A = this chain, B = another copy of it.
């Protein structure tokens, strides 16, 4: 049996010309995959009625499931309800269940239903109203021919709530007996794409039905193996269970080949990995950031519970701050310059001593666009770590703009912490 095909339509002119990307499709694709449905195509459309109408008509011809997001608000540019109703020849009506949801959600905010807001309760006749546990706009579900059409809000938290609690149960009930799909991602840092392909691709030729995709970003290279039809492959439908993953020779072999470059699997972030390692050792950490400007502290504190290991962070942009918060000698700064291995090591040692933590970590470099020279070009970054196993430092040369250099530096520094905690070579 072939996996069902889904298309995602994201409505909103801001997605085309407003400097905004559609991020909802990421978790929508994950939820659909867990129901055995493969996303074949994502589209972003303007708020123009005829654009939405023609996309709806086209997609209903080819997809089994269509998820429409956005355009359910109460302002003039919200036209999704009208577009769906006219495309499928249905009337819009103020549906009692929709009005109930709207009243309840507005009541929570101490507000009442105004005529403008009441537009949100207009739902095509014959469609099933979907509850919104987070925001005010109800969604809806209808069947058009053999295609299942779900219309949900564009606000990420509302979309996620409705996908989880409303759309997923309906899909599981309606599309019984489909194949179970799987994909497995390995997150690596420090190796270029082509090297990774040469390591991993030879493992796959024998296992038909498994596709390899490589994605390079400032975080490193993400290596994804995916399979849309288990019958074609060596791996059975139990692939998702942990015991199988651990036992499976292919995934095991990929892990072995990637070696210490592999920092996590699936959705786990570098900062989560570092947080777990610190927690399990009961080690505390202090940060001395210069060119990363607080980004490492920001990333570490994205993880709930990070207050258990992050004692303090410092953004020592000025030399005065380096002297006062880290105890760096003015002579050392004058002799080597702030961007040097010597100063990076002194910063790591300084923050460790001042904050009395297990690990002191530092980064100093030139994020650009100004401030570079022939000897010390933009992108030159030194980082160091000081801890119970001694002091280590590394010199990196990163490409990209200021934002990219800051991010790559933060990723390399977090990886340095990871390697130090695991006692593996960087």
- Chain A residues with CB under 8 Å of chain B are 12-23, 25-26, 29-30, 33, 38-47, 51, 55, 58, 73-77, 116-117, 155, 157, 183, 185, 193-194, 197-198, 201, 211-217, 222, 224, 226, 267, 287, 289, 292-298, 300-302, 304-307, 310-318, 320-321, 324-325, 354-355, 367-370, 400-404, 406
Contacts and interface: CB of A to CB of B under 8 A. Distances in A.
A22 B7 CA distance: 16
A362 to B, nearest CB: 14
B302 A315 contact: no
Given A16-B39, A116-B194, A213-B47, A316 B312 contact: yes
Contacts of A368: 304
Nearest to A226: B17
B224 A14 contact: yes
Nearest to A294: B297
Number of copies: 2
Given A20-B222, A40-B51, 6 more contacts: A14-B224, A75-B197, A293-B306, A295-B301, A304-B368, A312-B320
- Ranked nearest first, the 9 interchain pairs of A and B with the lowest CB-CB distance are A293-B301, A294-B297, A313-B315, A294-B294, A312-B321, A294-B298, A42-B44, A14-B215, A297-B315
B33 A40 contact: no
Contacts of A312: 314-318, 320-321, 325
A311 B322 CA distance: 10
Given A42-B43, A194-B116, A317-B301, A77 B211 contact: yes
What does DSSP make chain A's interface, helix, strand, loop or mixed?
mixed
5 contacts: A42-B44, A117-B194, A293-B297, A312-B318, A324-B355
A45 B51 contact: no
Nearest to A134: B399
Given A76-B201, A297-B293, A304-B369, A21 B23 contact: yes
Given A213-B18, A222-B18, A43 B43 contact: yes
Contacts of A29: 16-17
Contacts of A307: 317-318
A318 B311 contact: yes
A194 B77 contact: no
A94 to B, nearest CB: 18
Given A317-B301, A325-B312, A155 B216 contact: yes
Given A51-B40, A304-B402, A212 B295 contact: no
A302 B213 contact: no
Nearest to A48: B40
A22 B20 contact: no
Contacts of A304: 368-370, 402
A48 to B, nearest CB: 8
A44 B41 contact: yes
Contacts of A30: 17
A300 B293 contact: yes
